[in-house]
Amino acid sequence: MNTSKAKLDLLAVGHKLDWHGNRDGQKSGWLESIRISKQGDITTSGLNGCDYQSLGNLTSDPLHSFKQLRTVSKSANPDEVAEQLKQSNCRHKMGLFPEIGRAWLAIESKIYLWTYDGAMDVTHYDELTHKIECVCLVRPKKGVFVESVKYLLLLATSMEVTVLGVTFGEENSQLTETGLPENNECPQMKLMESPVFVLSNHNVPITAMQGSRDGRIFLAGRDGCLYEFHYQSSFCWIGGKRGKIINLSQSIVTHWVSSFVRMFADVDPITRIAIDNSRSLLYTLTENSDIEAWDLGEDYTKVRRIGKINEYCIVCQAVHAIRCRFIHATIFRSIKAICPLSIEDAKNLNLLAITQSGARLYFSTTSLDGQKQTRGLYLLHVRLPPGYTRNATTTKPKKVYAALYKGGTTVLLSSEKQQLLWSVSATTFTGFPYYVESTELETLEGVTWDLATYQDPCQAAHNSFLRNMRRPSKLVLLTKEGTQIIELLKSTDMLEQLLLTSGGPQHKAVQMYFRTQTEREACASALLLATSDEHGGRAIARWATEAFLVYGGEPCLPMTPMGRPQNIIVLFSAKHDGLYLYISRLLRPIWQLNCVDDELCSTLSPNDCSQLLEELKSLRTFLVILSAIDVNGQSTNSYMSLKIMANNHIVAEKALLEEMRSLSALNQFIRHTSEVIALWKLLLEHRFQTLCRQLSCDQQAILQSCTFRDLLLTRSEVYTFLIISLVDHYFKDSTSLSEVSIGLREVCPNLYRHEDVVIHRATETLMRAKVCTNAVEKDHKLRIALQMYKDAAPFLPLHSICEEFIVAGFYEGVVELVVICAAESDPDELGIQYYNNDECSKQSKGYDHYCKRMSYYKEVELMLDHIKSINQPQDKNEEHFFDCSSSLNVSVAKESSVTNIISLVLPFKDPLLHVTLYEWMLSQDMTEELLAISEQTLGVYLCHKLSRNPESLSLIELLWKYYEKNGQHMRAAQILGKLAICHQNISLEVRIEYLKLAIICMQNEKVCCTKKTEIFLKELENKYDIARLQLSILNTLLLKAQTNQAATIAVNKLNHQLYNVEQLNRQFAIPFHLVDCQAALFYYTHQNDSKLMDTVWPSMDSK
């Protein structure tokens, strides 16, 4: 593929992916879907019948019943934990740590931890002396503890907070971003025997604790204050790591504030802390349902309070917004859960609060009222729970005591009469212009102590949005009896259920699904099923592929009202847009992600790369299958079997070709992306940070500013110099280098070229040669560099290399390098054949090769220009000293350089190289030096040039001199003979001279004596004699020209054309009564013509 075209195609794909990604990302803003007013007015939803719909509306077929909740597994608690619960009669606490896949139980001063998915690896800690009141797991700050400490376990009692270090398995094992090993085996957790910190709480009971993603730890006291535990790696003078507690609520950097300071104030204890890591925001919820928002800043010194809203204000605003007398204010009281909304969840909303009645309150920390956006905590939208619509058939949530939000699904736990799990999800209604949700209830066994989002400990750090859509979200529910894992099914799962119950894609319900979801979204869902490894080779994958083809539509051109197609924009099919949407979602986590951080560490882990490569491989396999289906015509509505109306045939074909061109470019992009990610994974396996530090400062700066989008589309030089750095790292070890080269060729054959490495090394050698002072050593290094460049030809930055060779005075290297590049680029010598065939047509096969060769040889011409420039005197003063010995030596040296180039070029048998030399010498008027060349290519060149400029006397002169110098006297005489009779502005004396020279050439002893040559010589001699007679007539008429106008005209004619005897007589001798000339012509011809005698002699007698 043409390199420039490939780059343009990549950029075009990149722009389309940007468009689809932006369009897809706009939906997460929710402003339009829940109709938030940009003027800041509070909006409501949940009262209309369309706000909550049954999943059956996706297909309009009551026979298809969908489930959006599915129990995956149930696990009983380990025997040791069950025994403790059975024996204990006192209060206890239970909870989940989903980030490490553990559940915990705190009984009195003991804590037990175990894996909830399998109920094993029980770990306990019983070194405390007081009852545990609060438990939290936090990831520590980087660089504070040893690498083996992956988490900190905080245990708060009535007197103190104990911080324990948490480790997993072997210290040297490969760990993921979650701190767990990369394999799927459950690692063994260990608690360090000695606490890392033991902090006194100064009689302020801890009610809540939470850690941020960057390792900061926040605590809430029963006094209603928010604290931050600040710790660092430096040591204090008494030993141990330095740490301190900061009261953020009072803005005083201190240790614990004594409890008696606040004993006379109304206390509203904080019950929950929630952190939005994407925006660095923290929220607190108190017992009285007051919510407070904090901006965390970079550290505790930059923390500031954003705003606070109490329950009374919330209820008043919600009631005023609803304006419905059937809705009681109590449903907005008693907030039981706060769920931060990340940037991915919603760009314009920050917090979701859920009341005891299931009402959802959406807050923002930025006011949308007016042009000036102020910070605070503002209620923007109220969503009533299910059951409040007029025709509602579901019950209303009551006594909700826990909730969470995950990717468009809200999960509620209620405890009225029995334990119920509510799933309120919008993930299956993505194609609607307004916010639509479906609900489902599931009865639970026993009291649920905690619920959390299930996290795969081995997932990638930058988990793919696509992978999240393919795999259902999971919930973990913890009870006294054990744990239950439930899947929250999504739109893709609904399509899977639909295909299975319908027995294929031909059912009307499947068609209805594509319409309600929009074809673009539905095609993306079908792709998720078709490319899933789980369904590979199964009927569901085949059905999803067929549905993709059948309901994916066809491209078209928009029509004007007059019915004429607009030739500006092609409306691509849903299949096309679904594929682009699929890729944009796949690459979304890394698209705008910087490749490295400030420390030159990769922002992608090997596990991230592996998951991306798996997805890309599945997609490439799907595209191969899709192509086979299209070619074989197995699809009912495939690209190759497009049914086109006769009057729209051209329009449809144009749209189809444009779409196929776009999909072909996308396919190339997928292959390119696969190679780039595979290369990145290979680099991570070979000390990536070390490789980056080997780069120059400029290259490091480029790498740090480069995103993965740049890397894939525009910054190819980045992975080029990373490859070179990798090869250089193993250069001394030939065995390792060979293995690395093989690995590079396997994973990225189109990115890694052996020539790149060779060029890099050759350039380094060339740079060392330029600064070398020893002439012999310098020449040796230059020749080594030349040989390396030859090995990499023709994939070279030829112009730059030749410039360096010229500066170093290595002219021989320039000539040899351009010759080898020309030969490698045109091994069949098609360019030379094109030249030898008189350059017949620019459309011929050899024209491109001819142009390529001449572009290489342009470097020789530039080198000669350089030598010519340094050979010329700079000013007139230098000309006065030109004869001095020093100047003469310099001139001679420079002259010899030009002569040296000529002698270097001529031994090569490439005629086009010779042509470049001859052209340059002609442009410099070096005719004498040119005629000193005896190469046959010079004669061919002059003939070629003369055929294009047949009237050029200078070329004709050069050609006959070339023939004469090289012993081709017959050819020289022929050219001279033609030159003498040509219709050019040549004087008669010059024509006679040409004839004389032609006779001399023919009389040369080297000319073979044949009948043909004898005749030709006789013709030349006759022309020569007649021309001399013509000259005598001209001289005679010159005397009459002073007084006779006709004589003047005759002189001009005689001086610019040769005439025969009869013409001289009739046109000049007789009209002007030149008797002597007539007699001379008569005697020359030796004719016995009586009539001529009768004409001439009477005139002579009269004189």
Of the pLDDT bands very low, low, confident and very high (cuts 50, 70, 90), residue 633 is very low
* Structural domain contains residue 345: no
Rounded CA-CA distance 702/444 in Å is: 56
Q: Select the more confidently predicted residue: 391 or 662.
A: 662
Which of 461-475, 547-561, 675-689, 884-898 shows the highest mean pLDDT? 675-689
User: Over the range 736-766, which residues count as b (16 or more CB within 10 Å of their CB) and which as e?
Assistant: ebeebbebbeebbeebbbebbbbbbbbbebb
pLDDT of residue 351: 95
Q: Which of 700, 732, 752 is the last residue of a domain?
A: 752
Above 70 in pLDDT, residue 480?
A: yes
Could you list the residue range(s) of the whole structural domain that residue 75 is in? Answer: 71-326+410-491
Residues 94 and 7 in one domain: no
Residue 958 lies in a domain: no
CB 164 within 8 A of CB 192: yes
CB atoms within 10 A of CB 775: 8
Percent share of the chain, pLDDT over 70: 82
User: Which pLDDT score, from 0 to 100, does residue 1002 have?
Assistant: 79
Mean pLDDT to the nearest integer, 215-229: 93
Do 169 and 76 lie in a common domain? yes
Tell whether the model's pLDDT for residue 831 goes beyond 70. Answer: yes
Query: How does residue 504 score in pLDDT terms, banded at 50, 70 and 90?
Result: confident
What's the average model confidence in pLDDT over 470-494? 86
Structure tokens at 986: 């040549």
pLDDT at 202: 80
Rounded CA-CA distance 219/217 in Å is: 7
Q: 203 and 293: one domain?
A: yes
Number of structural domains (the chain) is 2
Report the DSSP pairing between strands 43-45 and 375-383: parallel
Gap between the Cα atoms of 1041 and 1049, Å rounded: 8
Domain assignment present for residue 543? The answer is no
Nearest-angstrom CA–CA distance, 830 and 827: 8
| pLDDT at residue 467 in the model | 64
Percentage of residues of the chain with pLDDT beyond 90: 31
Using a 10 angstrom Cβ sphere, with 0-12 exposed, 13-18 middle and 19 or more buried, the burial of residue 833 is middle
Question: Based on the domain organization, do 7 and 146 belong to the same domain?
Answer: no
Is the same domain home to 23 and 123? Answer: no
CATH code for the domain in which residue 473 is found: 2.130.10
Q: Determine the pLDDT at residue 878.
A: 41
Residue 932 inside a domain? The answer is: no
Q: Which helix (H) or strand (E) holds 168?
A: strand 160-168
Does 79 fall in a domain? yes
Considering the domain architecture, whether residues 239 and 140 belong to the same structural domain is answered as yes
Q: Does a structural domain hold residue 17?
A: yes
pLDDT in tens, 884-901: 333 334 433 444 478 888
Considering only residues 496 and 1012, tell me which one the structure prediction assigns the higher pLDDT. Answer: 496
Angstrom distance (rounded) from CA 204 to CA 259: 6
Q: Which residue, 438, 464, 491, sits at the end of a domain?
A: 491
Domain final residue pick, 491, 514, 546: 491
Assign 956 a pLDDT band (cuts: 50, 70, 90): confident
Give dist(CA 270, CA 221) in Å, integer: 7
Model confidence at 971, pLDDT cuts 50, 70, 90, reads confident
Please indicate, yes or no, whether residues 16 and 81 belong to a single structural domain of this protein: no
Structure confidence at residue 303 as a pLDDT band (50, 70, 90): very high
Q: Which range scores top for mean pLDDT: 553-557, 613-617, 769-773, 869-873?
A: 613-617
Q: What pLDDT is recorded for position 607?
A: 87
Give Cα separations from 725 to 270, 595, 721, 729, 730 (angstroms): 54, 16, 6, 6, 9
> Do 194 and 268 reside in the same domain of the chain?
yes
**SS3 letters for 436-494?**
CEEEEEEECCCCEEEEEECCCCCCCCCCCHHHHHHCCEEEEEEECCEEEEEEECCHHHH
Residues 444 and 305 in one domain: yes
Residue 149 lies in a domain: yes
Residue 623 within any structural domain of the chain: no
Mean pLDDT of 52-74: 72
| 8-state DSSP, 258 | P
